Structure 1
Amino acid sequence: MNHLELIRALPKAELHVHIEGTFEPELMFAIAQRNKVAIPYQSVEEVKQAYNFHNLQSFLDIYYAGANVLIDEQDFYDLAWAYFEKCAEDHVVHSEIFFDPQTHTDRGIAFATVINGLQKACEDAKTKLGITSHLIMCFLRHLSEEAAFETLEQALAYKDQIIAVGLDSSEIGHPPAKFERVFAKAREAGFLVVAHAGEEGPAEYVWEALDLLKVNRIDHGVRSEEDPELMQRLIAEKMPLTVCPLSNLKLCVVENMQQHNIRRLLQQGVHVTVNSDDPSYFGGYMNDNFIAITEALDLSQEELKQLAINSFEASFMSETEKTQWISKIHALA
């Protein structure tokens, strides 16, 4: 089995994907027409051109324009179902999916509309595709602590449908410390917790996520390498980093994929995983990310297997489920 065949054959868990970031141009345009929502694009081709953004702000502009067309439960279902079909193609057998309720509730969309549509797609993915999943509700860090508390209150009624809370959006100037009290309340309510840290922001933000938010996983975390003491801690605690290589390239965290540090992190014993982040915007889904780092960093087959194993170990699946999938990885020739 060559490297490409192995990538396709490996069962994988995806732990860092924003459902709003899986919005393909064709689906965005179709839902905009269905809902009679005006968008500043006359054709699918124009939407695709807009996806060729040049920096974080131009990405956010098209990202929020896309979110505006999502109005009904069916829209959220269709968005999630399209993502699950991509998972099936890439042998992603489990996904822990971020959603941003504030992106929608601030537009007047009910929290229930968002989560019910997503939840129904999760249920269908399990019965029709054999893909298990969890939902992770993220707070938008550029908004206030007060707004995050309000969103947490809304989420409590759906506690059995949301496994964890997270923290995403623009990192610079919005340190994890800003949300320390919100995360304490979320943990008290029984949620697991994760947070984006150390992508745009410095290694110090990773320390804050660990010490103040008391996270179960760090999302991104690639700048942790700048702090040797932090690296020692991540390795000792086996703290997962949900790394998104194509995203890092597209948002200029690295200048080219040959510069990416995921292999170095893996070789040093950091619990890194591979994920797609906002795949419709950043150039690819799970296997695209695996292929990109394999070609750029000359990953061995054992390293590819270890990355897949890490994804299950770092997941919020039951220990029994983790063991079953990891044994299947070990069984691959």
Structure 2
Amino acid sequence: MELRPFLEKLPKAELHVHIEGTLEPELSFALAQKNNVSLQAKTPQEMIAAYNFHDLPSFLDIYYAGMSVLKDESDFYQLTMHYLRKAATQNIVYVELFFDPQAHTSRGVSFDTVINGIHRARSDAAAELSVQTNLILCFLRDMSAESAMEHLMMAQPHLDKIIGVGLDSDEKNNPPAKFSAVFEKARSMGLKLTMHCDVNQDNTLEHIRQVIEDIGVDRIDHGVNILESEALCNLAREKKLGLTVCPVSNRFVVQSLTSAEIKKMLQYGLMPCINSDDPSYFRAYLNENFIALQEEGDFTVKELVTLAENSFKASWLPDAQKQAYLADLQDYVSEYQEI
């Protein structure tokens, strides 16, 4: 079987993609001109050349600076539609999108502006592209818990647009426990919970323990270091927690797509799935992540299909919708293997 075309057409879900991380240089320049924002780079190519990051803090510096071009509701609409059109071309049929409202309100853009632009694009993409989405509000862990709670309250009028909350940004000295009250409140509001535990961060095993035992998350973002603890692996397996691994993103942090670790996760009965994280900055959307992972790790067809299945199983969709997507996936695999 030729795996590249098989992977490109494979129906899949994406559970770990930051909408701000899909801002392509060309769109950034167009929005900068529209909003009279000055950029350091003179061309999109020069902007890409400046993506010189080697760890989480160096990436975040560039990531947050790039958001300056996003000003009004139409900007967030364009950003989201641009990603969802790309998702449709990659046979991504379902997406749970992260967004970072604090990164926008802190520079004078209202919460309503951000979420209404994103939501309008979600509605249009469902009708025009047959890409279904849900939205996850992420709190910035290098800001205060009080700010996170304030933004959770801002979200109350929009709970019909949000399926869950997450935690991202710089992990150093910002443990999950810092936000325990915020996440407890979010759960009481009927929201699902996830938190980033990025690769090789300080105190990463304690952070993973906190998200599972103390916070009680429904999913873990990244989480590769869980393999260093048999006890934590057992907990995640018992609770059927999905782990949203981002291979190309990992390569910028640990110089590896972590293909060996992903194989171990599968062997241990964990539930990893493959995601793109910030595809514009890492220059790889979901298909490119699958293809690069296969090239590095020589995964079997069964393993690749399992990773795709996990993206639906770990989603926050109702069971009936999960089963419908999984049936479509199996139909595709069966038809492809018969060719």
Normalization by structure 1: what TM-score? 0.96
1:40 maps to which residue? 40
Which deviates more from structure 2 when the two are superposed, residues 83-92 or residues 51-60? 51-60
Aligned 1:85-96 pairs, distance under 5 A: 85-96=85-96
1:245 and 1:260 in contact (8 A); partners too: no
Show CA shifts across 1:271-301 (max 9, x none): 0010000111113010111011111111011
Show CA shifts across 1:252-289 (max 9, x none): 2xx33366411111121110010000111113010111
* 1:182 matched to 2:175: no
* 1:121 matched to 2:105: no
Deviation at 1:53, TM superposition (A): 2.8
2:307 maps to which residue? 307
2:23 maps to which residue? 23
Distance of 1:325 and 1:98 partners within structure 2: 21
Q: Percent identity?
A: 46
2:195 maps to which residue? 195
Which deviates more from structure 2 when the two are superposed, residues 134-143 or residues 184-193? 184-193
Amino acid at match of 2:24: E
Q: SS state of the match for residue 257, structure 1? A: coil
Distance of 1:300 and 1:134 partners within structure 2: 30
Normalization by structure 2: what TM-score? 0.95
Show CA shifts across 1:295-333 (max 9, x none): 111101111111111100111112121111111222222
2:245 maps to which residue? 243
Distance of 1:67 and 1:188 partners within structure 2: 31
2:212 maps to which residue? 210
Which deviates more from structure 2 when the two are superposed, residues 208-217 or residues 41-50? 41-50
Unmatched 5+ stretches in structure 1: none
Show CA shifts across 1:153-176 (max 9, x none): 101111110110100001121110
2:71 maps to which residue? 71
Q: SS state of the match for residue 171, structure 2? A: coil
Unmatched 5+ stretches in structure 2: none
Question: Which of structure 1's runs of 4+ aligned residues deviate more than 6 A?
Answer: none
The alignment's C-alpha RMSD in Å is 1.3
Distance of 2:197 and 2:150 partners within structure 1: 23
Deviation at 1:10, TM superposition (A): 1.2
Show CA shifts across 1:2-40 (max 9, x none): 211221221101000000001111111110111001122
Aligned 1:48-197 pairs, distance under 5 A: 48-197=48-197
Distance of 1:225 and 1:283 partners within structure 2: 27
Aligned 1:217-232 pairs, distance under 5 A: 217-232=219-234
Distance of 1:209 and 1:284 partners within structure 2: 28
Distance of 1:71 and 1:198 partners within structure 2: 29
* 1:297 matched to 2:297: yes
Which deviates more from structure 2 when the two are superposed, residues 48-57 or residues 131-140? 48-57
Amino acid at match of 2:12: K
Distance of 2:266 and 2:28 partners within structure 1: 37
Distance of 1:25 and 1:216 partners within structure 2: 34
Show CA shifts across 1:136-194 (max 9, x none): 00000000111111111101111110110100001121110000011111111111111
Amino acid at match of 1:63: Y
Distance of 1:102 and 1:312 partners within structure 2: 29
Deviation at 1:246, TM superposition (A): 0.6
1:73 and 1:113 in contact (8 A); partners too: yes
Distance of 1:41 and 1:226 partners within structure 2: 41
Distance of 1:187 and 1:317 partners within structure 2: 16
1:39 and 1:65 in contact (8 A); partners too: no
2:212 and 2:236 in contact (8 A); partners too: no
Show CA shifts across 1:68-109 (max 9, x none): 110010100111111111101110000000000000001110
Deviation at 1:54, TM superposition (A): 3.4
Count of residues in Structure 1 that have an aligned counterpart in Structure 2: 331
Which deviates more from structure 2 when the two are superposed, residues 211-220 or residues 58-67? 58-67
Q: SS state of the match for residue 134, structure 2? A: strand
